[in-house]
Amino acid sequence: MNAAIIFGLLLALMLTGMPISISLGLTVLTFLFTMTHVPIESVALKLFTGIEKFEIMAIPFFILAGNFLTHGGVARRMINFATSMVGHWHGGLGMAGVLACALFAAVSGSSPATVVAIGSILLPAMVKQGFPNRFGAGVIATSGALGILIPPSIVMVMYSVATNTSVGALFMAGVVPGLMLAAFLGATTWYRAWKNGYPRMPKATWGQRGKALRDSIWGLMLIVVVMGGIYTGVFTPTEAAAMAAVYAFFVAVFVYRDMPLKRVPKVLMDSANMSAMLLYIITNAVLFSFIMTNENIPQILAEWLLDKGLGQITFLLAVNVLLLLAGNVMEPSSIVLIMAPILFPVAMKLGIDPIHFGILITVNMEVGMCHPPVGLNLYVASGITKMGITELTVAVWPWLLTMLVFLVLITYVPWISLWLPKTLGMIS
């Protein structure tokens, strides 16, 4: 009964058009004041202790690093490198878009940042070369979603905060699925380009490829700094995020010199704005999670599902459907912070690996970012291409279908996610 009241109130507030973070906070306060005897002091305490976790500090640092890279010419050099490698294949620039998104995802941690950085440079070039607008938009909007699967990933940090799972192990678990999804999206791009006879580029010489690699090496080295540092134990994921921010600043301002020092304050302010918004969502989601735990809702749900004889296969299918539906009305950070604490205890009782479950949730979030009505990537791509959301929805469907096939694969073949962290000895 209490669960129905909580979710009913949350849904009613969200339907008024109120931001999710405020809806969460109001739901919590209304329920606490009218239906429980929880002292208000404990609420204030929970607000502070909820965001006191060291892992949360990684979020503003990764956002800052991503912003420096987006404005600092790194994306352009990565596109040149990707084009030199795969530009001569069918749909060359489209293939280069997928590869460039995968490379940029490995340094930014954010899907919208990847779409902006790669799309704003590549989409005009594709139209100029004779590709249909829809094709380019479909490639970039979906490939940009790699930003939250290929580590570092802000969504994985959120999942870690919500479930106390190792961020380092999650990052390593995202590497193989991320590369697989990039290959799947690349194959879809190649097939559609081959079928429709879209233009190819002249094959680059090894000398041109070497020059493109040298030009982009400073950006690509960030992957080594972050992932190498975490794996070797030189620093934690949070320290890696801080290193990434400092390194990205150094590369953008002093190495590539694409960002004058006078633009740095604006980048800092933009990053602070986005960080504050995410931290506000986290704070309210922590309170929401506190109410759920206080009312024993996750435990009751777990018992009920187990009593119904729900096995791993059925439960994972139900989770996918639930998360895909949630992706229709909410953005990824909110979904992870609300749903993970509720679904996680059930997954643990059914013997599902917490790392595998985290990757499954992340892939669901990727799909949610590419379909309406609140797909963030669609809105970002819409701003770049000047296409309507309806037209973009039609444009992305072949790649979206590919992502759904990949989601089924990730859901029921856990070793895809677990092989690398197990090989590296990060999980048993």
pLDDT for 177 beyond 90: yes
Burial class (CB in 10 A: 0-12, 13-18, 19+), 327: buried
Position 35 scores a pLDDT of 80
> Binning pLDDT at 50, 70 and 90, where does residue 139 land?
very high
pLDDT for 251 beyond 80: yes
Position 19 scores a pLDDT of 79
Position 110 scores a pLDDT of 82
Position 224 scores a pLDDT of 87
> Binning pLDDT at 50, 70 and 90, where does residue 339 land?
confident
pLDDT digits (tens, 9 = 90+) for 190-203: 999 999 989 888 99
Position 8 scores a pLDDT of 87
Half-sphere exposure of 148 (CA within 13 A, CB side): 32
Position 302 scores a pLDDT of 75
Higher pLDDT, 147 or 48: 147
Highest mean pLDDT among 2-6, 95-99, 123-127, 159-163: 95-99
pLDDT digits (tens, 9 = 90+) for 359-369: 999 999 999 88
pLDDT for 185 beyond 80: yes
Higher pLDDT, 44 or 263: 263
Mean pLDDT, range 213-220, rounded to an integer: 91
pLDDT digits (tens, 9 = 90+) for 258-289: 889 999 999 999 999 888 888 888 888 778 87
Point out the least confidently predicted range of 76-90, 146-160, 374-388. 374-388
pLDDT for 72 beyond 80: no
- The chain-wide mean pLDDT, for the chain, equals 88
CA–CA gap between residue 4 and residue 9 (Å, rounded) = 8
